[in-house]
Amino acid sequence: MQGTVFFRHTRLAVALMAASIAAPAAADQAFVTSQNTGVSVLDTETLQVTAQYDLAGKGPRGIAITTDGKTLVVATRETGGVTLLNAVTGAVSGEIAVGKNPEFVRIRGDRAFVSYEPSAKAGPPPKAGEAAKADDDDDKEPARIAILDLKKGKKIGDIVGGPETEGIEFSPNGKTLVVTNEADNTITVHDIQSRKLLKTISTEQYGNRPRGIKVSPDGKTWVATLEVGNKVMVMDSKFNVIKTVDTGRSPYGVAFDRKGERLYVAAGQDKKLEVFDGRTFEKLGEVATGNRCWHFSFTPDDSRILLACGKSNAVLEIDPLSLAVTRTSEGYDMPWGVVTWPKSMGSLDQP
């Protein structure tokens, strides 16, 4: 018996040692989740897929990469949790249970924050005239943001959001978490340490179904996309609404560039990526894209944008200044999101 215990402890020590010396992902790579297959590794210089990490049947959606670039954290809808993958080899290093319908993943330090939506209903968003009815029928069960300790490999708590929590963003000082709640048309601000609700901002007078949420690089401005409303809502650092900006239909993914000079918005239903001045929010231009393009990321050198287009089964490379599609990477199966290593600005991540 003692020999067996010693063997188990030795094996665990070896595993922990191997994990601690694991190499980070190679530079200038992108990681793309496809809902029907897994994670594709994309060389951002050649736009060629260099590896495929199999998660077939698990329904991967949200994705994040740890601060050291060694581990991918992937929300897997069908498992009700996240799958941890070695970013270099694709080997599964762990699974952490979260709850029903895990979707959005953000990482800060050694913790991951994962939205999950017990009351989410499948299907397209309601039309503008149907929004109220859809809300009446919804049971308003609060969604949650699971807090995961990545070192311990376990869930350590929850922050209670609104029904159908969607986007997640951190305040610049890392003390608060800001989330969008689709089903009750609110944005809520939460203290991370105490997990208490600090503030609720209603979007109803501006538009329904808030989805994307981002803070500007200087921390002075917050923006949220309103999917049923076709707008971006602009707020100051205290979450007072300053203005709204018209967008194409069904805006979702949103991100500033690294300097905060430009704001990019993926208008999924209109099949375009729009760009606005990051301070005045005047529209500067747009580029036609593919079908159901929700999430995007700059490349680590900021020279290109990679846009995942789910129903086109492609990732588009876009010049952020000329707004031209420069290359297309095909062969995906319902791509959902994309992040890079080294980390870069995007709708799912930031440096």
pLDDT digits (tens, 9 = 90+) for 31-78: 999 999 999 999 999 999 999 999 999 999 999 999 999 999 999 999
pLDDT above 80 for 3: no
Residue 272 and residue 325: Cα distance in Å, rounded? 11
- What is the average pLDDT across 274-278? 98
pLDDT digits (tens, 9 = 90+) for 22-35: 789 988 999 999 99
SS3 assignment for 78-124? HHCEEEEEECCCCCEEEEEECCCCEEEEEEECCEEEEEECCCCCCCC
Of 67, 6, 71, 72, residue with least CA distance to 33: 72
Question: How many Cβ atoms from other residues are within 10 Å of residue 326's Cβ?
Answer: 12
Of 145, 13, 12, 20, residue with least CA distance to 71: 20
What is the pLDDT, as a whole number, of residue 40? 98
Architecture in CATH for domain 25-121+134-163: 7 Propeller (2.130)
Which pair of tokens denotes residue 265? 């918005």
pLDDT category at 117 given cuts 50, 70, 90 is: confident
Q: Where exactly are the structural domains of the chain?
A: 25-121+134-163
Residue 291 and residue 330: Cα distance in Å, rounded? 13
What pTM was computed for the model? 0.89
Which pair of tokens denotes residue 80? 């009700």
Report the percentage of the chain scoring pLDDT > 90. Answer: 84
